[in-house]
Copies of this chain bind each other. A is one copy, B any other.
């Protein structure tokens, strides 16, 4: 009856919010700041303590451990996802906007990508977003489990497109990065694959950003078309 079901902040009774001293919100938002600035390596309990001019171990009164802190930060990211009302714009426009918005939010908080594979999104913000997304697919005409399938499909596309982007950004945003040198290296690495080389040479490396946008748009249109087709049949 009282075995802990899953190690997650969200599945335990919340500690009641008393006012004095530090607050959980303050700690979480300081953590997010560190993560945004320097990524995961920028957040340690000691650094976070220092930023709040507290001992590192004081934080353990507010938060069970670092993972729990990350769960809280992760949910804040979910809170930034825009969720338009499908009644206003139609389900396709609504779904597109959500997809683009989710991508932007993740790109703004690259550290959150690491968490997608680490902890289920069970916080109130995440649930709220999911609830709203389901409404869009309901409005589209999906019923029963297909509401969730459609939602998962769109979300999977966005995650799967965005997560590798972050890997590239991380590798590319180093001080002494040189694009030309990079392209040459990739060509050398891909030397045994003539077909692949062809794509590397499609001078798309000149503006990787534009390439990404086109790729995302192409994929998004495909996914939405595929979902739409599921409605008709």
Contact = CB atoms under 8 A, between A and B. Distances in A.
Interface stretch (A16-24, A44-52, A84-92, A170-178): A170-178
B119 A167 contact: yes
Interface residues on A, range: 35 or more
Contacts of A159: 156, 159-160, 163-164
Identical subunits present: 2
A62 interface: no
A164 B230 contact: no
Nearest to A223: B226
Nearest to A217: B149
A157 B150 CA distance: 12
Nearest to A182: B5
7 contacts: A119-B167, A120-B171, A124-B189, A127-B196, A155-B160, A158-B160, A226-B229
Interface of A: 1, 3-8, 10-11, 110, 113-114, 116-122, 124, 127-128, 130-131, 134-135, 138, 144-150, 152-153, 155-161, 163-164, 166-168, 170-172, 174, 176-178, 181-182, 184-186, 188-190, 192-193, 195-196, 199, 202, 204, 211, 214-215, 218-219, 221-227, 229-230
